[in-house]
Amino acid sequence: MNEFEMSDMGLLHYFIGLEVHQDEDGIFLSQSKYAMDFLIKFGLLNCKPAATPMNVGEKLQLNNRAQIDYARSFRSLVGVLIYLTHTCFDIAFSISVISRFMQQPSKVHFGAAKKVLCYIAGTKDYEIWYSHVSNFRLCGFIDSDYVGSLNDIRSISTYFFTLGSGVVTWTSKKQATTTLSTSEIKYISATSAVC
């Protein structure tokens, strides 16, 4: 206060789309209001919630013939979904797949992005819980999808880590090199996660 003009506004409750609920036992983080606003914007507020963010076994690929006229809406939707991965790490893989088609989206890609939003409709009230714990144990979980990208035959690595009670980091991205076997992709995924 001696150096800078500032005011104490109490505990943090809302900050750039991130809701924070603090109590004596820990902190809840969510983006339910942010998700609700965009469900309304895209007309999916009363949609049937999807059980998974992406169809099992679905592999999207580039389709030059089926470009959509509303590419701007697609890009806006993908941007919203990318921002939602701050608290919804379970959609990270789906978003990494869908965001590859920002330059030439098709109706199929737009449908896949809307399906993720339908999944969010069913999980928008989920929160990340960071509790007061005395044992901070770091746990990591790694997965991979062999040849997950059909256009360039690259595999996808996914991992997330927890420290104590909550998730602290997660990612899902295409590997830089082309792998020749499922064993090789598992080693590359594990190395990437450890790094």
pLDDT, one tens digit per residue, over 37-93 is 989 998 888 899 999 988 777 777 777 565 667 788 889 999 999 999 888 888 888
Identity of the residue numbered 8: D
- The first and second tokens of residue 91, run together, are 């959609």
- The first and second tokens of residue 39, run together, are 């469900």
Residue 148, pLDDT > 70, answer: no
Q: What is the pLDDT of residue 166?
A: 77
What average pLDDT does range 7-17 have in this prediction?
Answer: 86
Residues in contact with 38: Cβ distance below 8 Å, sequence separation at least 6, in sequence order: 77, 80, 117
Residue 96, pLDDT > 70, answer: yes
Q: What is the pLDDT of residue 169?
A: 84
Task: Judge contact between 105 and 71, C-beta under 8 A.
Answer: yes
Give the whole-angstrom CA distance, residue 118 versus residue 53.
Answer: 8
- The first and second tokens of residue 176, run together, are 């830089």
**Per-residue exposure over 43-56, b if at least 16 CB sit within 10 Å of its own CB, e if not:** ebeebeebeebbee
Q: What is the pLDDT of residue 145?
A: 75
Please tell me the pTM assigned to this model. 0.73
Question: Mean pLDDT across the chain, nearest whole number?
Answer: 83
Better-scored residue on pLDDT, 68 or 117:
117
**Pairing, β 138-149 against β 154-163:** antiparallel
Task: Judge contact between 119 and 49, C-beta under 8 A.
Answer: yes
Give the whole-angstrom CA distance, residue 160 versus residue 141.
Answer: 5
Give the whole-angstrom CA distance, residue 143 versus residue 89.
Answer: 14
